[in-house]
Structure formats: structure tokens, C-alpha cells
Amino acid sequence: MLALTLPQAILSDSRLDVVEAKAKALLRSGFSAGAGIYSPVFIRDYNTFLPASCEVLPARDIKAHLVPFLFLQTPDGGIGDAYEETKPQQQKKTLLDGVVDPKGTVESDQESSLVQAVYKYIACSGDRAFLNKKIGGMAVSDRLESALEFIRREKLDAHFGLVTAGTTIDWGDVQAEDVPGAALDAQSHVAISIYANAMYIIALDDFASLLSRGDVRRQGLLDLRDSIGANVRRYLWDEKRQKFKPHVYLTSSPFPPSFDENAILYEGGTAVAIEAGLLSEPEIAQANAQMLAAQRASGAFSISGSISPPYPLGLFQHPLLCEFCYQNGGMWPWFAGRMVRQLALHGKLREAYDEMQPLLDQVIDNGDFFEWYTLANKPSGAPNFRGGAGVFVQAIESLRAAAKASPEGAGQNFVTGSWSYAILPPGFAWKQQKDPSSGDTVYYGTAPPDVQAPLSPGDTVYVGPDSAFYYFKHAPPITPDDLKGRWVPLHTLPSPSAL
């Protein structure tokens, strides 16, 4: 890799092939969100892995797992969280016999997720006739319009002109006030945040694009999209901090006045906001810099796709939401992968590749797609997490497409813009040594007193000819277990060109 340009290095990275193949194998095996408690088909999850599933499964199977959501739509247009078949197919008397349909009311993205999912199905299958199919006596296109109207009527606040929900953590589905925290009630503090609004903007765009240019509904959808976008910038964007405010409250906050909630960075919602076209190119770069700074501050293995810093213990009543746990600062590849994809789509190839690499290593090291990771990089939550697998396929495809679109030979030599085997970071007292198994020259160094997280002073650092850095606590040589301690020095040290 020492002689490769950045695009060449990306296109020759076999880890992309390994992870993509593993993701597609998982998606080929079903539609549930994940193993264990996630046996239902959740619409927010299915929306994220549907495009990748459409690459490996027949279109009829993709459509078949959208239809129950439409059948189960309530008369007011609302969509449930998920459905689950509780009876074998041969025992069912009707399509919905044995189907369980839970709905949490603290989140406001179910309807947007369904509209986006139908749009993605039609985009990948070309099956525009599905829009005219009658489900429960009502055309699919009318059901999608009804779902969007439900949000406008039931969730859009008249004063702010923005979508409301409970006080949850970014894109999360657990409110602060109670346990399990899934239902709005008299104790809830209704609030506005970026994720639900960005999702609604994308859904409005998607449905408008499914309509013919002469359809009278189309302009109204686009006008509503523009209005919400303008209100996002007016009420949710923190110009001083160059980030989105976590919440704007309709009445009051559930948190004590001494708590500065606006200091928290919502990473997942920010990535979706970029997808919705709500940030300029300089703002995208700034958002990414903030995510990398949060990674350095916490010592996390990768950008988290969650929030930083977490809410202090006790502000959310659910015991699962301790600091750096679950949605409260846990590491979520499901959303980190969306940020990588947006970086690639916006031409930030170096950043996208740097931030994708530890995500690839997590899958390869652990042999599965896990729902989330602890700060210590321990897999947590559901294995076989299809949402993460689907997002990774899209991120990998976007990364490759961006690399292929780069002019032949464009960009600097792969190793000259970052620390490498050929250019070692100073201050580590490097010692060269011959690896007895391969005969290669490798280097061991000692982390200095002022080293930044994730390293600690005195850690041993190793780098071989492949320019992959690792750190560990014992004296050399490196062991197979040490390969879990991957380090990307460009994230924690100034680049060579800046010295």
C-alpha cells in the first residue's frame, strides 16, 4: 500500500469485500431487526437495510415485508413500530392472523420510515405499479399520503412548525421520565429535535419524487419540506456552537436548570440531517470534526453515531441508559456508518475511509454485526443486527463509488498525508526489530507522557509494513490479542504535513 494513492488504497482494501459479503449473507437470511428480542420486523430498521436486502433477495420478498405495515395502518394514518408473525404460515386464516403490532408513541419516525422504505423499494425494483395496489381497500400511494398527513396533523407544532416527540436521546425511543419510557403520558415533556424532523423532510422529498410532475399534491409536499427546513435552521441550529440543539421544549425541560443540555452533540441526528440536505459543506466538515473530537475525548474506538457527552446518570430513569450505555453514549455502528456514507457522498474521501476502517475492524474482529459497543469496544445488544449490516453495505458502496470517481492517480501518495510505516510519529522512541515469523522490519515505540486517548503514557505502540498501528500494555513483541487495539494516529496527532 506504500505506493498507492488514497483511491487505490480504498479499492484494494480486502476488508471492504469481507464485511460487505458478511453483511449480504446476513441480509439474505431474513428481515427481523436482530437476534433475540429483535425478532419482529421494525420499520425504522427495515428502512435502513432494505436497499441492501434488495440486492440479494427477490423484489417480491422485499415487498411482502412492507405490506403488513400498510395493512396495520390505523385509520388516522399512524404506523406501528414493528410487526411479528406469531403463527406459522400454514396455520394463518388471514394475512394478519397472529400478527403483533406494537407502537411506541415517544418517537415520531415510524411514518417517515415507511414512506422512505416504500420509495427505496420502488427505486430498487422499478415496481411503480405498487403505488396503485389496493391494500385494505386503499391504494398504497394514498396510504403513504395518509402517513405523512398523520405527522403533519398530530405531530407538527403550530408555533415552531416542526415535528415533536418525547424527550428521547437523539434518535432513541426511550423518554427520560419513566420506565420503560415508550409511551407519551401526562409526565412527558414534549420536545423538538433534529432526527424526527430530518426524517420527515426526507420522507416528504421521497413521496414527492414518486408523484408525477403534474400531480397537484407535489408542490404542497415540497413547500412543507422547505418550511420545515427553514424552521430547523431557525429554532434547532445553534449558530454559536455550530451544531444542533438536542431539544427545543414546548413547555419545560425534564432536566434541572443547572444542566447544560445544549453542550451535547447528537451525532446520529446530525448524520441524518446531512442526508436531508440541512447542512452546508463547511458545516459538514465542522460536524465531522466535532465527532472526531468527541471520539478523542472519550477514548472510543470509532466515531460513535450516538451522543457526546452522555447525559449524567439519573437524568433518564431507565437503568439501561447509564453513562456510555445503550443510546446514552454507547457506540452505534448503525449510525456511524451513515456518517461515513455522507462523507463519501460529499467528496470527503480521506475522512470517510479513516472513519470506516475501525468499523470494518469491529465486524472482522467480532465476526458479526452487533447493535452497539461499549466504550471499551465490547460488543453489546443484539447480534445479527441487520440495520448495521445494511448501513455498512451502503457506506462501502458509496466509499468505492467516490474512490472510482476520483481522477486516475488523483490525490497524494497514500502514506504521505498521514503517519505510516514510512513516516513514524515523533516522540515515541521508536526501535526497529526484525519480525522472526515474516522477516519484515517492524517498529515498536513507547507512548510519551502527553499522549492523547485512546493511548496512555507508557503504552507500547507497534507498526508494521502495512502501516497499521496497534497499541498494548505489555512489553514487545505483539501478540494476536493485541490486534484488537487498532490506533489511527491521524486522529490523535497532527498530520505530518502540519509539522
Q: Is the pLDDT of residue 158 over 50?
A: yes
Q: Which sign does the torsion angle of CA 336, 488, 278, 124 carry?
A: negative
Q: Which pairing describes strands 379-380 and 431-434: parallel, antiparallel, or unpaired?
A: unpaired
pLDDT tens digits, 120-141: 999 999 999 999 999 999 999 9
Bridge partners (DSSP) listed for residue 164: 192
Determine the pLDDT at residue 412.
46
Q: Are 266 and 246 in contact, with CB atoms under 8 Å apart? A: yes
Locate 46 and state its grid cell: 427495515
Band of residue 345 on the pLDDT scale cut at 50, 70, 90: very high
**422-449 mean pLDDT:** 86
How does DSSP classify residue 75?
T
Determine the pLDDT at residue 468.
82
Q: Which sign does the torsion angle of CA 369, 199, 301, 470 carry?
A: positive
Determine the pLDDT at residue 153.
98
pLDDT tens digits, 41-85: 999 999 999 999 999 999 999 999 999 999 999 999 999 999 876
- Cα 48 to chain centroid, rounded: 9
Q: Are 229 and 280 in contact, with CB atoms under 8 Å apart? A: no
- Kindly report whether the global pTM for this prediction surpasses the value 0.85: no
Q: Is the pLDDT of residue 3 over 90?
A: no
Determine the pLDDT at residue 31.
95
Does domain 6-405 fall into CATH 3.20.10.10? no
Q: Is 353 helix (H, G, I), strand (E, B) or coil?
A: helix
- Mean pLDDT computed over every residue of the chain: 90
Determine the pLDDT at residue 86.
59
Q: Are 309 and 263 in contact, with CB atoms under 8 Å apart? A: yes
Determine the pLDDT at residue 495.
62
Number of other residues whose CB lies within 10 A of the CB of residue 397: 17
Alpha helices in 79-235 (DSSP H): 110-125, 140-150, 194-210, 216-231
Q: Is 3 helix (H, G, I), strand (E, B) or coil?
A: coil
Report the alpha-carbon angle 167-170-172, nearest 5. 75
Percent share of the chain, pLDDT over 90 = 73
Phi, psi of 151 (to 5 degrees): -65, -45
Q: Are 304 and 280 in contact, with CB atoms under 8 Å apart? A: no
Residues 6+ apart with CB under 8 A from 76: 150, 153, 154
Q: Is 326 helix (H, G, I), strand (E, B) or coil?
A: coil
pLDDT tens digits, 233-291: 999 999 999 999 999 999 999 999 999 999 999 999 999 999 999 999 999 999 999 99
Determine the pLDDT at residue 386.
98
Q: How far apart are the first and last CA of the chain?
A: 23
Peptide bond before 454: cis, by omega within 30 degrees of 0?
yes
The whole-angstrom separation of Cα 30 and Cα 53 is 9
Locate 17 and state its grid cell: 469485500
Please report where in the chains the cell 420506565 appears, as a residue: 179
Determine the pLDDT at residue 98.
52
Q: Are 15 and 360 in contact, with CB atoms under 8 Å apart? A: yes
**403-428 mean pLDDT:** 69
Band of residue 190 on the pLDDT scale cut at 50, 70, 90: very high
Band of residue 88 on the pLDDT scale cut at 50, 70, 90: low
The domain limits of the chain are: 6-405, 431-498
Bridge partners (DSSP) listed for residue 325: 328
Band of residue 1 on the pLDDT scale cut at 50, 70, 90: very low
Q: Is the pLDDT of residue 409 over 50?
A: no
Please report where in the chains the cell 403488513 appears, as a residue: 68
Bridge partners (DSSP) listed for residue 444: 431, 462
Q: Which of 76, 88, 95, 224 is nearest to 162 (CA)?
A: 224
Largest separation between any pair of C-alpha atoms in the chain: 75
Determine the pLDDT at residue 333.
97
Percent share of the chain, pLDDT over 70 = 92
| Least confident range of 35-39, 291-295, 414-418 | 414-418
